[in-house]
């Protein structure tokens, strides 16, 4: 009897440990999401690298590996954009982001955010390897369509589609106006999006920065500034918006003075 009890206890204990582990992965993801957002706000590549280290360890827990990989890819992508001036390092992170997002999609194929992120990464890659323009262009069009189909209400999908269109010449199906309408749609959808817990919900502030960028491209600086301010209103820590506003202010002063 005692022995049976022991077996039962051990079994229960194992299940308990297992259940706890699941909870810890979720708990860690939530924690890391916050850390990641903070580092992005500050434009701090070193902090982001620390986050990567933690995420990598988390990816060996044997639970929600695809989601952890999504965050690793997002993190590498962020480092790649922050370090853009250091071409060699930037390229390394973008390549790594590509590898990890493909792994994530392999693990779970029907997650719209992964396909959208993949689109951004493919776009960045063309910057380093112009010879891939055609190949990546075709693939990213496929990926973004898939993302839209999977989750038509996902604001990040339209935002990423918009950034692609912003830098694609009109003759190839891009253009500022197309981008603006996509950003506007994204902004509307962001208003409806609630806190998604362990799943990605970033971009609420960023979409207004993109709107600002688009209007800046159209040489409508005052509208652009309004959007940048709107981004700051939503996220007062948003370093990117702060920096753009500071630069614009300085340029204005220099031009007038």
Partner 1 sequence: MRKSCLMFLLPVMLLGGTIIEGRVTNEKREAIEGVNVFLEGTLDGASSDENGNFKFKTQETGKYNLLIRMMGYKESREELYLEGKPIEVKAILKEKTLKSEGVIVKASSFTTGEENGVTLTPLEVVTTPGAAADVCWAIKSFPGVQHVEEGAGLFVRGGEVTETKFLLDGANVYHPYRYESPTGGFFGTFSPFLLKGTYFSSGGFGAEYGNALSGVLSMESQDLPSERIIGLGMGLANFSVAGAVPLGDKLGVNFSGNQSNTKPLFNFNNVEDDFTEYPFSYDLNLNLAWRYSEKGRAKLFFFREKDNVGVSLQDPTWVGNYYGTENSNLYNLKIDHALSDNSFLEFNVSRTDFGKETEITSGEEYVLDLKETDEISQAKVLLEKKTWMFFKLGGCLEQRKSYFEGFVPSEEDSLDPSVPSNYYDREYKSYISSVFVEGTSFFPYNLSLTSGIRFDRDSKSEKNVFDPRFSLSWNAADEITLAFATGIFHQFYEPWRYDPDYGNSELDPMDARHYIISGTWKNDGGMVRVEGYYKDYEKLMREDDSLNYISSGFGYAKGVDFFIKKNFEKIEGRIAYSYLKSERDWQDYSGLFPPDFDITHNLSAILNISLTSSFQMGAKYMYATGKPFTPMDGDFRAERLPSYWTLDLSASYLHSFFTNNLTIFYFSVNNVTNRNNILGYYNGDRDEPIESSYGRLYYFGVSFQM
Residues binding partner 1 (CB under 8 A): 28, 49, 52-54, 56-58, 60-62, 87, 92-93, 96, 129-135, 138
**Which C-beta is closer to partner 1: that of 32 or that of 224?**
32
**Which C-beta is closer to partner 1: that of 57 or that of 218?**
57
Token pair listed for 256:
């007038």
- Minimum CB separation from partner 1 for residue 194, in Å? 29
- Minimum CB separation from partner 1 for residue 56, in Å? 5
The answer to whether the CB of 228 falls within 8 A of the CB of 236 is no
**Which C-beta is closer to partner 1: that of 2 or that of 192?**
2
**Which C-beta is closer to partner 1: that of 122 or that of 157?**
122
Q: At what angle do helices 206-217 and 221-234 cross, to 10 degrees?
A: 170
* CA dist., res. 186 & res. 156, Å (int): 7
**How far out from the chain centre does Cα 172 lie?**
25
Q: Which CB contacts under 8 angstroms, 24+ apart, belong to 74-78?
A: 74/36, 74/117, 74/200, 74/202, 75/36, 75/48, 75/51, 76/52, 76/100, 77/117, 77/120, 77/121, 77/124, 78/36, 78/39, 78/40, 78/48
* CA dist., res. 100 & res. 46, Å (int): 19
Number of H helices, E strands in the chain: 11, 0
**Which C-beta is closer to partner 1: that of 62 or that of 236?**
62
- Minimum CB separation from partner 1 for residue 26, in Å? 14
- Minimum CB separation from partner 1 for residue 188, in Å? 34
**Which C-beta is closer to partner 1: that of 141 or that of 245?**
141
- Minimum CB separation from partner 1 for residue 32, in Å? 11
């Amino acid at each position: 009897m005692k022995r049976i009890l022991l077996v039962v206890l051990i079994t229960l204990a194992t299940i308990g440990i297992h259940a706890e582990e699941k909870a810890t992965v979720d708990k860690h993801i939530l924690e890391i999401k916050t850390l990641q957002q903070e580092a992005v706000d500050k434009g701090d590549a070193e902090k982001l690298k620390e986050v990567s280290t933690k995420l990598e360890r988390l990816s060996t827990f044997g639970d929600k590996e695809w989601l952890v990989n999504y965050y690793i890819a997002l993190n590498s992508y962020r480092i790649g954009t922050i370090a853009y001036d250091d071409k060699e390092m930037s390229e390394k992170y973008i390549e790594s982001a590509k590898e990890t997002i493909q792994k994530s999609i392999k693990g779970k194929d029907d997650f719209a955010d992964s396909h959208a992120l993949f689109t951004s990464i493919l776009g960045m890659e063309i910057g380093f390897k112009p010879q891939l323009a055609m190949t990546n262009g075709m693939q990213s069009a496929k990926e973004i369509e898939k993302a839209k189909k999977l989750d038509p209400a996902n604001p990040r999908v339209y935002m990423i589609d918009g950034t692609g269109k912003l830098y694609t010449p009109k003759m190839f199906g891009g253009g500022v106006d197309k981008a603006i309408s996509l950003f506007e749609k994204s902004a509307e959808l962001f208003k409806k999006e609630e806190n998604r817990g362990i799943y990605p919900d970033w971009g609420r502030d960023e979409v207004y920065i993109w709107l600002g960028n688009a209007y800046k491209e159209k040489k409508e600086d005052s509208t652009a500034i309004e959007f940048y301010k709107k981004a700051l209103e939503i996220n007062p820590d948003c370093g990117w918006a702060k920096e753009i506003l500071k630069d614009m202010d300085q340029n204005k002063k220099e031009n007038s003075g």
